[in-house]
Amino acid sequence: MKRIAMLFPGQGSHFRGMGKELYEQFPVARKVFDEANDVLGFDLAGKCFEGRISELNLPDIMTLSILTTSYASYKVWISETGVFPEICAGHSIGEFSALTAAGVLSFEDSLRIVKLRADLAKAVADSQRGAMTIVDNFSKEQLEKLCDGLSDSEYFAEISCVNSGKQFAVSGHQSVLMELEKEVMKFNGNTTPLLMSPPFHCSMMTSVREELREKLSSCKLNPPEFSVISDFTARPYRSESEVPELLSLQVCSRVRWDEALRYIADTDVDAMIDIGPSSVVSTLIRENGNGHIPVFSFAVAGERDHIKEMCRNSFADMSNFINLCIKETINCKNNNSNAKEYSQAVDYINELIQLKCTNNDTITDTVDKALDLCSQIFELKSLDHRVITGKVNKLRSMAEKLGNIV
């Protein structure tokens, strides 16, 4: 197991007791929840572990709980395996979790923006009587026709998330959604109203976008440590500079989740991991088929242990680690037009290859040599220093799983 995609869920993955097991078993998870409590100024952990479900359904508590539990799960995953994803995607609020995991947004900034997003969305829902519902076992074309037929210039319903070929979220005015739910049932479809949810990902939320964009623009944004797919484009962010625009557009635009999953499938990853508090995403993928790529849920103990063992086996010896170093240095883009310096980078890559073939040093010495060569190669290719730090830290974390390394 060398290449994984990580999936961060959105609403619907929350439940009473979420994150409690992680908090009790892993110090790194406790640190995440404690930071959330400090930043927010209230006991979010207590609401996740022991709170009433009616409280967990409040827009701000729900989204903050999902973000925090998902990020805690990710931190536990890294501490236990050292395996970073090649690519990740987040459904709705999960996109914040994905960008936080990739180091683009700090956890503190994500918490503050998610809280703002929820408060702004609730204000829209209260003033315009907006809501959301899930529609299952229905075709996209048929649902589009229903939305168009029931909407007028003042009141409307729109497909807000395409989760699969037969599951969708619809957002809009509550009165229109109630009529739509009746029509769906007539055609043997199923509906599940999202209680207390604002009308995310539809044009009713356009007024929220600008304030979110300004807030995101004021944050310190870092280059992603791995690819993150935008829900708005269903393609990876090209740089951190796109985050304010695309992430603010997401709140008032359709989530193209089915397209994001197809894109991931085309990257030839070995597995997809649902890193959220429950198995909502992995269950949906299995029910609708995901081609040849296995999907695992981090929330299910048996699946978690299985995927951890597969990842451990993939880093069982030093040659695998050196191969990863070689891959990282070869695949990263060269931004240096100086031919002499680029030639030196090629020489260092050859030294990495020789290190794998003719090495008699201790594991610690070999890792230090390999990481030093990688750092120099990244420098010679003129990578941003923040990117270099992220790549070297990623490789070091993987090396620590080889054992006997301090």
Beta strands in 176-313 (DSSP E): 190-193, 227-229, 271-274, 295-297
* Catalytic entry in 13, 73, 92, 297: 92
Question: HSE on the CB side for 88, CA within 13 Å?
Answer: 29
How buried is residue 13: exposed, middle or buried, by Cβ count under 10 Å (0-12/13-18/19+)?
Answer: buried
> What's the confidence (pLDDT) of residue 155?
95
> What's the confidence (pLDDT) of residue 405?
41
Measured distance CA(371)–CA(396) in Å, rounded: 7
Measured distance CA(11)–CA(94) in Å, rounded: 8
Handedness of CA 8, 10, 13, 15 (dihedral sign): positive
Residue 159 makes CB contacts below 8 A (sequence gap 6+) with 140, 143, 144, 147, 168, 169, 170, 254
Question: HSE on the CB side for 346, CA within 13 Å?
Answer: 7
Concerning whether 201 is annotated as a catalytic residue, the answer is yes
Helix (H) or strand (E) holding 6: strand 4-8
Phi/psi for 193 (5° steps) reads -60, 140
Measured distance CA(153)–CA(176) in Å, rounded: 12
Residue 337 makes CB contacts below 8 A (sequence gap 6+) with none
Handedness of CA 272, 277, 280, 286 (dihedral sign): positive
* Catalytic entry in 91, 173, 201, 314: 201
Q: Is the pTM of this model over 0.75?
A: yes
* Centroid of chain to Cα 322: 28
- For residue 341, the tally of other CB atoms under 10 A from its CB is 14
> What's the confidence (pLDDT) of residue 82?
76
> What's the confidence (pLDDT) of residue 121?
95
Concerning whether 92 is annotated as a catalytic residue, the answer is yes
Residue 74 makes CB contacts below 8 A (sequence gap 6+) with 6, 8, 97, 101, 275
Amino acid (1-letter code) at residue 71: Y
Q: What is the largest CA-CA distance in the chain?
A: 75
Amino acid (1-letter code) at residue 369: K
- DSSP H helices in 41-136: 44-50, 53-56, 59-81, 94-101, 107-128
Q: For each successive 10 residues of the chain (406 residues), what is the average pLDDT?
A: 85 88 94 98 95 91 96 91 89 97 96 97 94 95 97 95 94 97 95 93 96 97 93 96 98 96 89 87 76 82 78 63 87 89 90 75 77 94 90 83 48
In the numeric block, the tokens 């010679």 are attached to: 380
